[in-house]
Amino acid sequence: MAEDTLGDRVRRARVALEMGVRALATDLGVSPSYVSDIENDRRVPSEEVLRALSARLELDFDELMALAGRFGDDAERYMRRTPAAGLLFRRLQEKGYSDAKVREIISGLDDSSPD
C-alpha cells in the first residue's frame, strides 16, 4: 500500500505471520517496547535492525529503508564520493518527480550496467 508508514508495514507483516510483539523482539534482540515504538512510528530503527526485520518478516529491505527515510551506510559513502549523485537526488526533488516516475527510473537502472 502506497501510503503505508514503516510502522504500518511492519505491523501488518508481523500480524500476517501470527507473531506477537514479544516474539519479534526476541528474534531481533531488542525490547518489545522498541518494536512497539517502530510499529507506532515513534522510532526509526537502524539499518541493522531494518535488515533483521526484513529477513524475519519477509519484507523487501530496500522498501523498509525507503519507508524509514534511510539511505544506508554504503549509499551515504557513495554520495560523498560521487557529488553528482547528490545533485541527481536534488534535481528529482526539485522537479517533483512522483514515486511512480522514480520507480520507472530505478527499473531502467536495474536493467542496465554501469559504464
pLDDT tens string 20-69: 999 999 999 999 999 999 999 999 999 999 999 999 999 999 999 999 99
Show me where the domains of the chain are located. 6-68, 83-110
The pLDDT-based confidence of 103 (bands split at 50, 70, 90) is confident
Domain 6-68 has CATH 3.10.180.10: no
**pLDDT confidence of residue 70:** 93
CA distances from 40 to 6, 9, 80 (A): 9, 11, 32
State mean pLDDT over 87-111: 89
The pLDDT-based confidence of 112 (bands split at 50, 70, 90) is confident
**pLDDT confidence of residue 115:** 66
Name the H helices within 17-82: 21-28, 32-39, 47-57, 61-68, 73-81
